[in-house]
Structure 1
Amino acid sequence: MHHRHTLAAVAAGILLTAGIGATIPAGASTAPLSKTQATALVVNARWGGHATFDRLVIDVRGAMPPVTVHQVGALHYDGSGGRVPLAGKQFLEIRLSPAAAHDDAGRSVYQGPRLLKIHLPALKGVALTGDFEGVVTIGAAFDTKPVYKTFRLHSPERFVVDIAHPVGCRA
């Protein structure tokens, strides 16, 4: 009886090993990808004023990750939850994920503003509000509810938010 259990265990081990070996192609690496290979790096945020809109551009190194933009009542730092001291009455929260603003060694690769007041017709401030657990968050401040459109540009990768303002405003 003991011999049958041992034989069954050995046979199960052989089958399991053969099954696992069959699922990994020869020459394939089982090492995990590094963060810089698998995760986009957010390297800058910049802005400009135009005759009928203000533009916020987020520069990304690597493939553009999914991006969400939400109007929020206030901006909060990811991780701590502390309120971002950015003047404004209306805010946009821009979330890129999976993404990072630091390299594998933990050094920042982000060259944009951490917290900056801006004097454009619509855009009043920009802040890096998070680089936490694979999510980079950037906040934008406005005096009035922003009317905006978003799109992506390529070579290099950029995420763009255009915020409308009345014709005739000077940037």
Structure 2
Amino acid sequence: MKKFPTWLAVILMAAGLGFVAPGPASATTSYCGLVWGSLAKSDSDMSGAPVTNVRTGQHYCFDRMVVDLNGPVDGYTVRYVPTVVQDGSGFSVPLRGSAFLQVTVNAPAYDGSGSATYEPKNRVDVTNVAGYQTFRQVAWANSFEGYTSLGLGVRARLPFRVFTLDGPGSGSRLVVDVAHFW
């Protein structure tokens, strides 16, 4: 019977030490297990496939923007910038948020005859991101000389990832995910 209070005391002391002296922080510890970072991401190939749509969605750990193309996504550049710049004119694109991602797809938003394949109904708010945890605004920054750019206003400089997906059909998608937290 005397062993029980001794073991109980040892267990409580060990548990108490865990609260008083936590283990060292890990470099890979992150929000939702995401270890993306916030540096520029790019692929320098060019695509002849035109942009056909831009859409957004909310996920548990991140907000997502998707750029649809009518063919393969071959190149892009996504990076944090002090100001998003409009293609062709160089004018700044005003955005809501505390940090700004310039998303450039190496693909036009027009076909070979110059007809638009995608023209947002509202260039200032391409998609409605009201109520999103990270996104504050998606704005059209133009399509010029084979490049299409968008401004993505976010609440802070947060980690992000960029990747491409095939489909549907012969199309493809450029995906930009921005984490809710570090």
Q: Give TM-score scaled by structure 2 length.
A: 0.65
Q: Corresponding residue for 2:102?
A: 93
Q: Corresponding residue for 2:83?
A: 74
Q: Corresponding residue for 1:108?
A: 116
1:155 equivalenced with 2:163 (yes/no): no
Misfit runs of 4+, over 6 Å = none
Q: Corresponding residue for 2:31?
A: none
Percentage of pairs with the same residue? 36
Per-residue CA deviations over 1:13-55 (Å, capped at 9, x if unaligned) read xxxxxxxxxxxxxxxxxxxxxxxxx711011110011222111
Matching residue's letter, 1:105: S
Q: Shift in Å at residue 140 of structure 1?
A: 0.5
Larger Cα-atom Rg: 1
Matching residue's letter, 1:118: V
Distance 1:67 1:161 in 2: 11
Structure 1 unmatched ranges of 5 or more: 1-37, 167-171
Aligned residue-pair number: 129
The alignment yields a C-alpha RMSD, in angstroms, of: 1.9
1:118 equivalenced with 2:129 (yes/no): yes
Structure 2 unmatched ranges of 5 or more: 1-46
Q: Corresponding residue for 1:169?
A: none
Q: Which deviates more from structure 2 when the two are superposed, residues 133-142 or residues 108-117?
A: 108-117
Matching residue's letter, 2:144: F
Q: What's the secondary structure of 1:115's corresponding residue?
A: coil
Q: Is the 2:109–2:119 contact (alpha carbons within 8 Å) kept by the matching residues of 1?
A: no
Q: Is the 2:56–2:63 contact (alpha carbons within 8 Å) kept by the matching residues of 1?
A: yes
Distance 1:146 1:106 in 2: 36
